[in-house]
Chain A
Amino acid sequence: MPKAKVTFEDVGVTVTVPAGTRLIEVSEKVGAGITYGCREGECCTCLTKIVAGGEHLTLPSILEAQVLKDNLAPRQHRLACQAQVLCGEIVVAPA
């Protein structure tokens, strides 16, 4: 299975993960400061800054794009409970 590497800047950890993993699943396990609320892509609590490698994440769904827009999320920000990693190297930090 293809793997990707996700780095959580705030806790200094890089995790090798299988493709398809949602960012929130990993951030919880390493205790990063990316926190979640609803886990359903509605509350925007899990807003995450994509420091690098945004192209290696699944594209935002219509719902995610709407929630990002409603909440005036800056560019290069995603919902950790929605974005899935595909491949390559991704660096993230709490928003």
Chain B
Amino acid sequence: MAVLTPDTPVPHAAARVIARDVHWIGALDPELRRFDLLLDSAHGTTYNAYCVRGSAGVSIVDTVKETFADEFFRRLESVADYDEIRAIVLNHLEPDHSGALPELRRRAPKARLYVSSRAQMMLKGVLHGTAGEFTAVQTGDHLDLGDRRLRFLQTPYLHWPDTQCTYLEGDALLFSGDIFGSHYCDARLFNDAVGSFRAAFEQYYACIMRPFAREVRQALALIEPLPLRLIAPAHGPILRDAPAYYLSRYRELSTPSPATGEHTLLVFYLSAYGNTRRMAEELARAAASDEVRVELIDLDGAAIAPLLERIERADAIACGSPTINGDAVKAVWDLLSSLTCIDVRGKIGAAFGSYGWSGEAVRMIEERLRGLKLRTPLPGVRARLTPGSDELAACRSLGHDLALHLCGRAEHRTIDMASLA
């Protein structure tokens, strides 16, 4: 078995020792510049796969993107024979890690596949009949390799619903999947040997993990109690120096800012002629009180990133847009389409806006808010052109009722389905 010591730079096709009888057998993708359409990766990425040898056989943890399969198989062959492989663990089904699986199954027919129980519905879609026999696992389930054991921890949504981590007991080694990953390619592989990847680590969290901050906290609750000597993520540097730092950083990033006892409503608007602005002001004034802090924000020319932080901390958002060419204005869509980057589930949303003849914007915004998984307990308010006194009163009552919902004092309503639009 031709294996290098941990610190020799990696020639093509060499596996790397990361712990006793545990090898990195992944692939380097230094050219990649954009990942999953949403992440820039100035430094490429790696697809990390691992080979764990126990007295009763070998287990592979994750594979690589299909186009990198040759590199993966060469590394694998340098440390194990196919007929020694008795288990393949996929920490989630995404193609950047399952790409070489069909071929691996063909070459290692004795291996059994271990995936999260949440993976079952998706397995067909990803593997199209090549999944074969598999075992669906849950938190606490084990895979016995003779003298050592792998334990599974379910960490859903980090990054896919079926994401899990696999923990090598005794060695205190966590195969963390996408969690704690970075898109950063450096053949020196270990965090204490590679260049500075801090920015890549932070960006990875911001793009992949931030929308699932609550799931990150749930995952940390499972991971934090474990003794940890090394974290082996599915992308980027292997974290052998100070692995605890990365846990505490995730803890920091996923912890919501402390509750102030006050509720926050952000009122966003766009307005060419001042009509929608008038509505926004009326709504905002009616909602504000000692208990509810209201911020009025003109979206025209506003930068989105700082707004996301404010929305993340807010309890409710109201969005106002005139109808222009049968649609809400682009700046509203830009804001709303950015909300998938943060966790807005369960916040309260509402819409309002002035219009001339068809007035589609308010309905469309409400639909989008629901799609983003906000609650929209109050119907939006529209005003034809310059809002009249009735329309301004409707804005005030929307503001007032939003405040009641925020304070948990909204009156219980009983209605008939037929009366609902």
Contacts and interface: CB of A to CB of B under 8 A. Distances in A.
Interface of B: 117-118, 120-121, 136, 138, 154, 161, 345-346, 366, 370, 373-378, 405, 410-417, 420-421
Contacts of A70: 117-118, 120-121, 136
A31 to B, nearest CB: 3
Given A16-B416, A33-B373, 18 more contacts: A5-B414, A11-B375, A12-B405, A12-B412, A13-B377, A14-B412, A14-B414, A14-B415, A15-B417, A18-B417, A29-B417, A29-B421, A31-B378, A33-B345, A33-B346, A43-B121, A70-B117, A71-B117
A21 B417 CA distance: 10
Interface in A1-56: 5, 10-18, 21, 26, 28-33, 35, 42-44
Nearest to A7: B412
A47 B15 CA distance: 43
A44 B116 CA distance: 15
B345 A30 contact: no
A16 B161 CA distance: 34
Contacts of B121: 42-43, 67, 70
A32 B416 contact: no
Contacts of B415: 13-16, 30
A29 to B, nearest CB: 4
A72 interface: yes
A88 interface: no
B155 to A, nearest CB: 13
Contacts of A94: 346
A31 B375 contact: yes
A14 B370 contact: no
Contact of B416 (A15, A42, A44): A15
Contacts of B416: 15-16
B377 A12 contact: yes
